[in-house]
Amino acid sequence: MKYRVIYSRRKTIAISVDKGIVTVKAPLGTDKKTIESVIVKHSAWIEKHLAIQKRKDEMMSSLTDDDIKELKKRAKVYFKEKTDYYANIMGLKYG
């Protein structure tokens, strides 16, 4: 499995998956063997999140321009309703 390592002044090792890239953030001086053991230990989590991102990417690439326009229209309605609702609760006026 390919991954990139970012060393910094931190106390723990963190793994993240973003846009199909596995990133390991590790404390300065952490040896490669330790990093690889953490990756092996968490390989199921990494594979799960890589698969989730792959499905999201496939879903997004199948959207047409008309689909995107419709989703934007629905989002505007949804967020206006939510904004009106919470502004009323908080006694605010906006716009």
Q: Would you write out the chain's pLDDT as a tens digit for each of its 95 residues?
A: 899 999 999 999 999 999 899 999 999 999 999 999 999 999 999 999 999 999 988 888 888 999 999 999 999 999 999 999 999 999 998 87
Name the burial class of residue 93, with classes exposed (0-12), middle (13-18) and buried (19+) by CB atoms within 10 angstroms of its CB: exposed
To the question of pTM greater than 0.85 for the whole model, the response is: no
Q: Which residues contact 63 (CB under 8 A, 6 or more apart)?
A: 71
Strands lying side by side in the sheet with 14-18: 4-8, 21-27, 14-18
Q: Which of 39, 41, 34 is nearest to 3 (CA)?
A: 39
86 and 79 Cβ atoms separated by less than 8 Å: no
